[in-house]
Every structure is written in C-alpha cells, then in structure tokens.
Amino acid sequence: MSARPAPGAAPERILSREASGLRHLRWAREVQATLEAHVDHNPALADADREALRGEARALAAAVQALSGAVKPYRDFLERTRVRYRGRVRVAEHLVRASGAEGAARAHLEAALSELAAMEATQRRPLKEALSAEIDRLRERMAHMDARVAERLSAAFIESLYPPLTAGASRVADDGDPDDDATASPR
C-alpha cells in the first residue's frame, strides 16, 4: 500500500502543473472515483452532504470529460504526426553523418528541420494551447470544489479524495500495475 502524505499537506495532493495532460486526466479521474465512492459508500455522510458531493462529482465529471477531449487529439498528434517529422530529422542527421555533411545531405537536414519547426508552430502549438487551457480549467474547478467541500466537511475528508503522488508531484503513484505509465512509488 502506498504511503499517504500527512494530513494538512495540501500542496502534496496537487499534481504539478508541469505534468502532462494525460497525467492530469489520470489524477482527476482518481479524485472523481473517490468522490463518487464517498457518495456511494460512506455511511458517515449526512444526506445534505451526500447530495452536495453528488453535484461536485457531476461537475468534476464534466471537467474530466472536457480535459479528455483535449488530451486525445494532442496525444494522437504526438504519437502519429510528430513522430513522422522527428523520424525524418533522424534520417537526415544520419545522412549528414554518413556523407560527411556534404551538400545534398545537409540540404535534406535543413529542409527536415524547417518542416519540423513549421509543424510545431502550425499544428502542435494550437493543440498544446487547447490542452493547457483545459488543464487550467480543471485545476481551477478542483480548487473551487475543495473550497466548497471544506465549508461542509473536514480537511481530512478533502485529503482523502486525492491519490498519493510520486516525488515532485509529477504523477499518481501506482505500484499496482507495471504496465501503467504512472507506475511509481510515492515520495
């Protein structure tokens, strides 16, 4: 079982802003699942608190869905389009090394680098900006959720919503699945 941060250590439950969109998505889904589990399985909740938490879970689900809608096109772009450009640059670099940096190989490398830069500006940047905006909206939504829940329930309750994070708060700590990208021990 993963060690949990000490209660009241609020920043330790918050994923680093520099974490990827995919890692933010995983983190938010973990919080959403825990919130829903409290609603469904926590007998200590008053009916009014349970109903308020249901509303928070629905709102968080919408934010998670919006983030998912931005993560998918960005991940698809990285894994399909961008890798082709990067592959072309690697081939051009190889040709330069193999030819001793002669004319045609050098021109091929310069063209590949130019196309990579153009792709970054015209394709990647807009996708990354859209993803970044959704990450910011999610983080703001979760901060507001925490504040509303804090008006009704304890800090320990809020802390219970958040999964343990790895050192540096870069991802959810998950020792249970070696195939999971987020597999790592907590701090």
8 A C-beta contact, residue 9 and residue 186: no
Residue 168: inside a domain, yes or no?
Answer: no
Residue 31: inside a domain, yes or no?
Answer: yes
Q: How far is CA 121 from CA 83, 85, 108, 113, in A?
A: 15, 13, 20, 12
Q: What are phi and psi of 6, to 5 degrees?
A: -60, 140
Number of domains making up the chain = 1
Residue 9: inside a domain, yes or no?
Answer: no
Residue 14: inside a domain, yes or no?
Answer: no
Give me the pLDDT at residue 181, please: 56
Residue 51: inside a domain, yes or no?
Answer: yes
Residue 66: inside a domain, yes or no?
Answer: yes
Residue 64: inside a domain, yes or no?
Answer: yes
Q: For the chain (length 187 residues), average pLDDT per consecutive 10?
A: 42 89 97 98 98 98 98 97 95 88 85 94 97 98 98 97 94 76 51
Q: What is the DSSP string of 42-66?
A: -TTS-HHHHHHHHHHHHHHHHHHHH
Closest listed residue to residue 136, CA positions, set 30, 13, 52, 19: 19
Residue 132: inside a domain, yes or no?
Answer: yes
Question: Global pTM?
Answer: 0.84
Give me the pLDDT at residue 12, please: 79
Tell me how far apart the alpha carbons of residues 54 and 148 are, in angstroms, rounded to a whole number: 13
| Pair of tokens at residue 38 | 């409290």
8 A C-beta contact, residue 17 and residue 27: no
The residue range of the domain holding 37 is 21-163
8 A C-beta contact, residue 28 and residue 139: no
Distance of CA 57 to the CA centre of its chain: 19
Give me the pLDDT at residue 97, please: 87
Tell me how far apart the alpha carbons of residues 135 and 77 are, in angstroms, rounded to a whole number: 18
